[in-house]
Structure 1
Amino acid sequence: MDASILIQVVLLIVGFVFLIKGSDLFVDGASSIASLLKVPTIIVGLTIVALGTSAPEAAVSITSSLTGSNAMAVSNVIGSNMFNLLMVIGVSALLSELLMEKEVLNRDLPFLVGITLLFAAFIFISGEISSIEGIILLIIMIAYMFFLIRTTMKSGATQVEKPKLSAAKSIIYIIIGLAGIVLGGDLVVNSASDIAIAFGMSETLVGLTIVAIGTSLPEFVTSITALKKGENQLVIGNVIGSNIFNILFVLGASSAISAIPIDSSMLFDVILMVIVTIICFIFGKTQDKYDKKEGVILILLFVFYMGFAIWRNYFPF
């Protein structure tokens, strides 16, 4: 391997480390600040933690949008959502049966299907995600979070977690975490673009594969950890919540900064993401769970999709 390419690969890995560790520090610091301010634990989970796990995708997509790498901004979200639905749920279901919580099944999963269809409609109507449509996605996100918080508060879930850090240390964690996220996003976008050029890969392919999988590692690790602790229901909530924030927050913020035109070659990926989301909804609705058989189907779909994405890059049709 050429020395310059090797350097870019190392920088890409370093970028992922900065992204993941930065989001961890940010979540820890922000959660402790919230606890010091007596914010209920469940609200922290619904807001700070949810946004924190989507921080890597947000950093990459927003950086891509600012630098004009529009293909990577969108393909990162599509690839990340596909990885979450097919691999995170698939592998988790293969390891242990995943039961569906009533709220996730009847509220969050249908909502994910709805906003995925809305995202697809934006693209097929205008061929882009305009700044106005990005603002609409952000407004929907704020409304969704407000609804979750209001519903949770009405249920009486007001337990406040004991702060793990002092106020000063929390602020330091937040600052270092944000710096890591920003620096990591910049490293990932720049090094991934250079690798794509060196190997004749399109930005779309890099975004759908290397970058998407790398930025989805927090969700994957969180889900496997939850399985080991016997908290199987957290896996579904983690994946669905992450995908919702990827569309509403990541794409919303990226396109609000600058309209993102969508290349016609990505229309298949958008359609497939819609189909996969609906399949996961049907799997969950029919049995209120994901079992090993469905896990195998989801993993095979991901393998097929990755193979097709690579083949399409070198043998376009």
Structure 2
Amino acid sequence: MAYILLILGFALLIKGADFFVDGSSNIARLLQVPPILIGLTIVAFGTSAPEATVSIIAALEGNADVAVGNVVGSNILNSTLVVGVAAFLYPLKVESEMIRKEIPFTLLAGVALLILMSDIALQGFSGNMITRGDGFIFLLFLSIFMYYVIAIGLRSRKNAANEPTPQNISWGKNLFITILGLAAIIFGGDLVVGNGTKIAYSLGMSETLVGLTVIAIGTSLPELVTSISAALKKESEIALGNIVGSNIFNILFVLGASAAISPLPVNDKVFTDVVLMIVLTVLLFIFSRTNFKVGKREGLALAAAYIIYLVYIIVRN
């Protein structure tokens, strides 16, 4: 039964991503805003839903390692495997605004996380913790980011005021298929994680290995399938916007909300992962600057980086 539900989960993920990308790209046309903004907001927020669910439940249950590790691990996977596979399938065009503002904002969020969790080194405390105050700082950063995105969207609409609204695209239909696609992605992701975990345990895998592989990859499946679907449809702005936006939401919203609910003690091992996350964001920034696209070779390099990281954490744990 677990194998059937696993296959059903993957089917829901793939079809859901198909609907989600089609619906959200049509909404961008109806709103007369660039698809990149939809990728950075609606799509990114939607595909971050599994991380939010896992981390907030973990925070409520007092399991800080899962809450923090889930976000950091997901961001590393997004910046390497998700970008890598999408770019390999179809080179991702990078807007100059993305290089100048959105990717640096992702980097800023990562550096802010590193600083706020370094209580022993910076303040001489007995332990490292993401406090409620830190959580509210993340949520404040998120509100600044959302203000910036909305301002860009309004400016884009003003510039496109004279362009005709698409006649063959309806609001009702596209809102419906976007919500239906998102629901299928979340439900499908839940089926894959739950049943993949059962199968892994039945094959004799340890809890640590299951957490680092099945669950970490499972909660990032929405980003992976959505970005691959967007790349195959040549909607590279949605593909890259989804990844960058999701990484920003994961730190600022998911960790911010989790820490605001319950302060999160930080495991010393996570520092290495956070530093790696920052380094990989810098690497993505460098790749994005080469001819304003992330090509097949860069995609392969990023995917290989994730495989190396996966081997490292399996050996480390």
Q: TM-score with structure 1 length normalisation?
A: 0.75
For residue 269 of structure 2, give the secondary structure of its aligned residue in structure 1: helix
Pair 1:257-2:258 in alignment: no
Give the structure 2 partner of residue 272 of structure 1. 276
List structure 1 runs of 4+ shifted beyond 4 angstroms.
9-32, 38-46, 157-164, 177-181, 183-200
Q: Can you list the C-alpha shifts for 1:195-248, whole angstroms capped at 9, x where unaligned?
A: 999857455x54442222112222212222222222233322221111111111
Q: Is the 8 A contact 1:59 1:185 kept in 2?
A: no
Mapped to 2, the partners of 1:12 and 1:80 lie a distance apart of 20
Pair 1:100-2:101 in alignment: no
- Match for 1:213 among 217, 220, 225? 217
1:101 to 1:41, Cα distance in 2 relative to 1, 3 A? closer
Aligned-residue offset at 1:114: 0.9
In structure 2, runs of 5+ residues without a counterpart are 120-126
Q: Can you list the C-alpha shifts for 1:52-73, whole angstroms capped at 9, x where unaligned?
A: 1211111111111112222111
Aligned-residue offset at 1:278: 1.2
What CA RMSD, in Å, does the superposition of the two structures yield over aligned residues? 4.0
For residue 216 of structure 1, give the secondary structure of its aligned residue in structure 2: helix
Pair 1:79-2:73 in alignment: yes
Determine what percentage of the aligned residue pairs are the same residue: 43
Give the structure 1 partner of residue 85 of structure 2. 91
Give the structure 1 partner of residue 130 of structure 2. 129
Q: Is the 8 A contact 2:17 2:226 kept in 1?
A: no
Moved more, 101-110 or 206-215: 206-215
Aligned-residue offset at 1:30: 11
Moved more, 66-75 or 194-203: 194-203
Q: TM-score with structure 2 length normalisation?
A: 0.75
Mapped to 2, the partners of 1:56 and 1:94 lie a distance apart of 25
Aligned-residue offset at 1:290: 1.7
Aligned-residue offset at 1:259: 0.9
Give the structure 2 partner of residue 305 of structure 1. 309
1:23 to 1:295, Cα distance in 2 relative to 1, 3 A? closer
Q: Can you list the C-alpha shifts for 1:87-145, whole angstroms capped at 9, x where unaligned?
A: 11112222332221111111101111111111111222362211111111111111111
Q: Is the 8 A contact 1:140 1:248 kept in 2?
A: yes
- Match for 1:53 among 47, 53, 60? 47
Pair 1:237-2:241 in alignment: yes
Number of residue pairs matched? 300
Pair 1:288-2:306 in alignment: no
- Match for 2:252 among 248, 251, 270? 248
Question: Structure 2 counterpart of 1:154, which letter?
Answer: R
1:102 to 1:19, Cα distance in 2 relative to 1, 3 A? same
Q: Is the 8 A contact 2:39 2:241 kept in 1?
A: no
Question: Structure 2 counterpart of 1:50, which letter?
Answer: A
Q: Is the 8 A contact 1:16 1:214 kept in 2?
A: no
Aligned-residue offset at 1:285: 2.4
Mapped to 2, the partners of 1:30 and 1:293 lie a distance apart of 29
For residue 118 of structure 2, give the secondary structure of its aligned residue in structure 1: helix
Aligned-residue offset at 1:275: 1.1
Mapped to 2, the partners of 1:307 and 1:214 lie a distance apart of 17
